[in-house]
Amino acid sequence: MTEKLKVSTDLQKLWQRGCDFLGVPYAIMGGAMTWVSERSLVSAISNAGGFGVLASGSMNPDLLRAEIQGTKELTKQPFGVNLITLSPHLMGLIDVCIEEKIKHVVLAGGLPSGESIQRLKDGGCKVICFAPALVLAKKLVRMGVDALVLEGMEAGGHIGPVTTSVLAQEILPHIREIPVFIAGGIGRGEAMLSYLEMGAAGCQLGTRFVCATECVAHPKFKTAFIRSSARDAMPSVQLDVRFPVIPVRAIVNEASKEFARTQQCVVERFSRGEITQQEGQLEIEHFWAGALRRAAIDGDIEFGSVMAGQSVGMVTKEQPTIEIIQELIAQAETALEGRLIA
């Protein structure tokens, strides 16, 4: 196994707060990607010195417990669990995290309730939440969360309307009480360094780890990443304001085109009075049901959803997780050394 890199004093100072918070050598979090961020990839990230995060997706408590225990068999290093706030099993999932002594829980998919945050904190968990705007970041701090992730629209999967660089400028200068991690569009160490220098405690990367050797994603899914450029990862379109679509960034394929056609058909049928607005909205929302699994696990990259961030253009080959992390660190060190010399 490749030895972990010794980090320079200057880089260590920049991300010390993040390392201390996560309990790891490198303040690099793995983004929680449903069907992809399971025990194999999560343990590989943690074993390489980063911080892996399990994606609970639509798991029930029993499935999550099994995945946590499976991850513990593969790593003795710290890792976290990502829970979806809209899950009907949320409180049960929280109980599992507490019982399994998970120290860091990421609440995603919407503003969490005060009850869920308090339950985790009472159970000894540190709570990490996503903040898409400064006003929400301040609210989450008041609610008692222990750290924030700022994720810009360059990220893969469900995205907001603001870029990573703007979010960082908007929020980092005003949130000092707790650690803040930056995510979205990060594919190289130089970008990580720039956010650390702005005051971030660390960074979160998802797309960069999809082609890790340890990742269980289908070979065709990985090939789609390797062959794609940044402009291939586009957000899903919305054709009519009466039928809102939560944008999802993914590599454009036949499913993307079919989704547009489905929306057009729904709008036309609604206009003719054949369906209600609610029926049309449900049809649109159900279009992608199971689509990510079809692509990531079954390998249907034409009619599945190949969720990817814009950093996909920097994914050029399959390689071990530890090599990916070491490349990121080496790039940051080289950039840092150049700035110090200059």
For residue 315, pLDDT over 60 is answered with: yes
Stretch 23-51: mean pLDDT:
98
pLDDT for res 342: 55
For residue 3, pLDDT over 90 is answered with: no
Question: Is the CB of residue 204 less than 8 Å from the CB of residue 182?
Answer: yes
Stretch 64-88: mean pLDDT:
97
How do beta strands 233-235 and 248-251 pair?
Answer: antiparallel
pLDDT for res 182: 98
Stretch 134-142: mean pLDDT:
98
DSSP state of 32: -
CATH top class, domain 9-216+318-341: alpha beta
User: Residues 254-287: pLDDT tens digits?
Assistant: 999 999 999 999 999 999 999 999 999 999 988 9
Q: What is the mean pLDDT of the chain?
A: 96
pLDDT for res 323: 97
pLDDT for res 187: 97
pLDDT for res 175: 98
Q: How confident is the model at residue 232 (pLDDT cuts 50, 70, 90)?
A: very high
Output the CA torsion 331→336→338→342 (10° steps). 160
The residue among 95, 137, 140 whose CA lies nearest residue 120 is: 95
Spell out the alpha helix ranges (H) of 184-312.
189-198, 219-227, 254-271, 277-286, 291-296
SS3 for 300? coil
Question: Is the CB of residue 53 less than 8 Å from the CB of residue 223?
Answer: no
Stretch 58-87: mean pLDDT:
97
Q: How confident is the model at residue 95 (pLDDT cuts 50, 70, 90)?
A: very high
Q: How confident is the model at residue 1 (pLDDT cuts 50, 70, 90)?
A: very low
Scan for tokens 């898409």, then name that residue: 132
- Listed by start position, the domains of the chain span 9-216+318-341, 229-307
User: Residues 171-218: pLDDT tens digits?
Assistant: 999 999 999 999 999 999 999 999 999 999 999 999 999 999 999 999
User: Residues 107-127: pLDDT tens digits?
Assistant: 999 899 999 999 999 999 999
Residue 85 to residue 91: CA distance in whole angstroms: 9
DSSP state of 72: H
